[in-house]
Structure 1
Amino acid sequence: MKRRKAVTNANALNVIGTIAGKTPQKISFRKASVDFLKHCRIKGLAPDSVKFYEKELKQIGRSFAEVEAPISDITKIETLHIEKFIEHQQSLGRAVSTINSRLRAGRTFFNFCLRKKYITANPFDGIQQLKTRHKIGATFTKRQLKRLIETPDITTFSGLRNLSIILTFAHTGIRLSELTSLRVQDVSFEGKGAINVQRAKNRYARRIPLTRRLRTVLRAYMEERGAIETDALFVTVEEQPISGRSIQSMLKHYGEVTGVGEEVAVSPHAFRRTFCRLKVEAGTNIFVLQRLTGHSSLEILKRYVQIYGKDLEEAIEKGFEGI
């Protein structure tokens, strides 16, 4: 069989070159970023995850240019450049959480480059996440929740829909992206009823039972919604799926109207944090709470237990009876 005169497989050349002690083929940070994002899409990462990497890599690339890292050839990027990147971010006053997010994104990106043989070592090796204080964001009191829930005008379609959205956030702890992805068929009224979250952040579908009040309100809303062309659960008066931005604006508006927004920023995640707090205060098992909220790790939920768990109040009295 007649052989080609030149080897055309670039990956094979990179592997052979690496084995022979040669440096991988030169590739820029920008080109490698494009390849990485394409890989993320092909792999099936959630759109929000792809946007996260795209945003963070763009910021990393800008900072690399500021600290004069060799972005035209990533094989020359070393650990010292990552350290300069961290110092540069700190000098700009970036929050520790922001810097850590970029470090995570950068490490994942360079691990991809390592697997693709673009580089021979990950410059993030030996770089640790910055230490941060573990805090829990503000939550609503029951009185604040009641004020928000009582605000929508349920004599209008949008008011009934908004009440349904607020109650879904408050009574399930669901994420905004999960709520906007709900379809009519994801809600069941059989038995006590449940919401089946099919498009969860961690890719694991989960079932959230309905409270009696949420079941009543959702049934009323869905009857008013009727059968329309889209199967999105929550829709606008024009019968189009409601966007996450519109929901955020609606919550902010109700926060201003009720005055709750002056005390706690009214957002989908504030409802989620409140749901976790109330469940912990009620003594809900942490593993059950994990199944309800879809947290992939128990670490965050442990913080709620440490702060709001009733066992501390019970334990502090033991041993002092009669003293």
Structure 2
Amino acid sequence: MLLEDVVKEYEYYCLAKDFTEKTLINKRQELKQLLKFLDEKRAVHELESISFHDLKAYARYKQQSGLQPSSLVSMFKVIRAFFNWCVREEYLDENIAKKVDLPKQPKKVLKGFSTDEVDQMINSFSYKNYFEARNKAMIAMLSDCGLRAKELRELETKNVKETTILVNGKGNKERYMFISPALKKILIRYERIKKEYFKEKYFNENYYFLSYNGDLLSHVGLDKVIKEAGKRAGIEDKRVSPHSFRHFFAVQSILNGIDIFTLSKLLGHSDVSTTQRYLQSLEDFELIKKAMPSSPLMNLNKK
């Protein structure tokens, strides 16, 4: 069976599964590069002809070309997913990609935002016009609700209620998030300014946060807002991205006493192990602060 034909069929399978555009592009690019390597370097064109050694050679080739361990692991996740599908479709008997040893990724402790830094970023925007108010509200919601970038951008107006937000997450899984009084105060002012700004302009009523032309805010547009917030707050030694606020939400939730299973549901994770990865970035002083109330001796003294 021609490898090119199988990859094409797999692409339609991914489309039917309603993967995000970003995921689809990533899968196409990775598999296209694999096919090119197998064609030019190994003279392999049939699915059944691919061996473990071909994939091992591809991993080595990508490493020698300067691909970082983390990127190599991400790339092979795509390849393994493709071969898993081939096994499910009974085109292959086993997933040979699983046999390829990959370099271990060094575990990095991420430097998360402090509460002061998040406060500075929220307050770096004012209420003097629609865009300032929108940016303030978006950063406040990311910090207080831990939404994914896509969830925030595609948040529907009808789903923002008095005290809750209905979030449409990955795989169209819905979950509710609580609107705290502090966040509600910001949203009320934002909604008032938004209504006034678009009073005589076109705007898409479906979406809660709108772009300059009154429509769905792009991923790049949101990223620019976040970068601007970091710049205004003078944050230079940390990654400033929409995901960083999701990480902040996770860490603060744990430090404030939420158990990991509840947090997993709030984040929209299907597996608790995904949530656990967020917690690997708790810095030592935060761990010590959290451990104090659970000290056995401290609790003995209370009796």
Q: TM class, shorter-chain normalised?
A: 0.7 to 0.9
C-alpha distance in 2 between matches for 1:51 and 1:291:
28
Q: Determine if the alignment matches structure 1 residue 44 to structure 2 residue 14.
A: no
Question: Which residue number in structure 2 is paired with residue 195 of structure 1?
Answer: 165
C-alpha distance in 2 between matches for 1:229 and 1:142:
34
TM-score by length of 1: 0.80
Question: Which residue number in structure 1 is paired with residue 252 of structure 2?
Answer: 278
- After TM superposition, list the pairs within 5 Å mapping 1:101-120 onto structure 2: 101-120=74-93
- Using the TM superposition, give the Cα deviation of residue 138 of structure 1 relative to its aligned residue in structure 2, in angstroms: 2.5
% identity of equivalent residues: 22
C-alpha distance in 2 between matches for 1:113 and 1:164:
45
- After TM superposition, list the pairs within 5 Å mapping 1:132-211 onto structure 2: 132-189=105-162, 193-198=163-168, 200-211=169-180
The Cα offsets for residues 42-76 of structure 1, whole Å up to 9 and x where unpaired, read as: 2333333323322322333344456x234422221
1:312 aligned residue (286, 291, 300):
291
- Using the TM superposition, give the Cα deviation of residue 294 of structure 1 relative to its aligned residue in structure 2, in angstroms: 1.0
Question: Which residue number in structure 2 is paired with residue 33 of structure 1?
Answer: 7
2:193 aligned residue (204, 224, 239):
224
Contact 1:280 1:304 in 2 (8 A): no
C-alpha distance in 2 between matches for 1:170 and 1:267:
12
Gaps of 5+ in 2: none
Question: Which residue number in structure 1 is paired with residue 214 of structure 2?
Answer: 239
Contact 1:69 1:77 in 2 (8 A): no
C-alpha distance in 2 between matches for 1:58 and 1:277:
38
Question: Which residue number in structure 2 is paired with residue 11 of structure 1?
Answer: none
RMSD (CA atoms): 2.6
The Cα offsets for residues 83-113 of structure 1, whole Å up to 9 and x where unpaired, read as: 1122122222322222122222112212323
C-alpha distance in 2 between matches for 1:185 and 1:129:
46
1:318 alignment partner, SS class: helix
TM-score by length of 2: 0.85
- Using the TM superposition, give the Cα deviation of residue 121 of structure 1 relative to its aligned residue in structure 2, in angstroms: 4.1
The Cα offsets for residues 239-290 of structure 1, whole Å up to 9 and x where unpaired, read as: 1221111110121122223211x12222101111111111111121111111
Q: 1:313 to 1:57 in 2, by over 3 A?
A: farther
1:258 aligned residue (198, 213, 233):
233
1:235 alignment partner, SS class: coil
Letter in 2 for 1:312: A
1:276 alignment partner, SS class: helix
Alignment: residue pair count: 290
Q: Which has more radius of gyration?
A: 1
Q: Determine if the alignment matches structure 1 residue 69 to structure 2 residue 42.
A: yes
- Using the TM superposition, give the Cα deviation of residue 301 of structure 1 relative to its aligned residue in structure 2, in angstroms: 2.8
Q: 1:284 to 1:73 in 2, by over 3 A?
A: same
2:77 alignment partner, SS class: helix
2:239 alignment partner, SS class: coil
2:228 alignment partner, SS class: helix
